[in-house]
Amino acid sequence: MARLPGTRASGGPSMADVAKLAGVSGQTVSRVVNGNDRVTADTRLKVETAMRQLGYRANIAARALATGRFGTIGVVMFNLSAVLNVCILEAVVTGAQARGYSVSVAMVDGPTEKDIRAAVRGLTDRAVDGVIVIEARVLDTPQLHLPEEVPVVIADSRAAHRHPTFGMDEAAGVRAAVDHLLGLGHATVHHVAGPTGSNPAQRRRAAWQRLLKRSGRAVPPPAVGDWSPQSGYDAARRLLAGDDVSAVFAANDQMAAGVLRAAAELGRKVPDDLSVVGFDDLDFTPFLAPPLTTVRQDLAAVGRRCLEHLIARIEAPPGIEAAQPASRFVRPELVIRASTAPPRR
What pLDDT does residue 7 have? 40
What pLDDT does residue 103 have? 94
Tens of pLDDT along 310-321? 999 998 887 777
Q: What's the CA gap between 13 and 16, in Å, rounded? A: 8
- The DSSP-derived string for 241-294 is TSS---EEEESSHHHHHHHHHHHHHTT--TTTT-EEEEEE--TTGGGSSSPPEE
Q: What pLDDT band is residue 6 in, cutting at 50, 70 and 90?
A: very low
Compute the average pLDDT of residues 251-272: 97
pTM of this prediction exceeds 0.95: no
